[in-house]
Chain A
Amino acid sequence: EIVLTQSPATLSLSPGERATLSCRASQSVSSYLAWYQQKSGQAPRLLIYDASNRATGIPARFSGSGSGTDFTLTISSLEPEDFAVYFCQQRTNWPITFGQGTRLEIK
Chain B
Amino acid sequence: EVQLLASGGDLVQPGGSLRLSCAASGFIFSSYAMNWVRQAPGKGLEWVSTIGNTGASTYYADSVKGRFTISRDNSKNTVFLQMTSLRDEDTAVYYCAKSITTINWRDYFDYWGQGTLVTVSS
Provide the B61-73 mask, 1 if CB < 8 A to any CB of A, else 0.
1100000000000
Instruction: Give 1 or 0 for each of A64-107: 1 = CB within 8 Å of chain B CB.
Output: 00000000000000000000000101011111111111000000
B47 touches A43 (CB 8 A): no
Interface of A is mostly: loop
- Asked whether A101 and B107 contact (CB < 8 A) given A43-B112, A44-B112, A96-B50, the answer is no
Is A11 an interface residue, CB under 8 A from the partner? no
Question: Which residues in A have their C-beta under 8 angstroms from that of B115?
Answer: 43
Residues of A in contact with B, size category: 20 to 34
A55: interface (CB < 8 Å): yes
- Residues on the B chain within 8 Å of A38, using CB: 45
Q: State A98–B43 Cα separation when bound (angstroms).
A: 11
Interface 0/1 of B32-70, CB less than 8 Å to A: 000001000000111100100000000101100000000
Closest residue of A by beta carbon distance from B45: A98
Are A49 and B112 in contact, CB atoms less than 8 angstroms apart?
Answer: no
- Known contacts A36-B45, A91-B108, A101-B45; 12 further A-B pairs (Cβ under 8 A): A34-B109, A38-B45, A43-B115, A44-B37, A46-B108, A87-B44, A89-B109, A91-B104, A91-B106, A93-B106, A95-B61, A97-B47
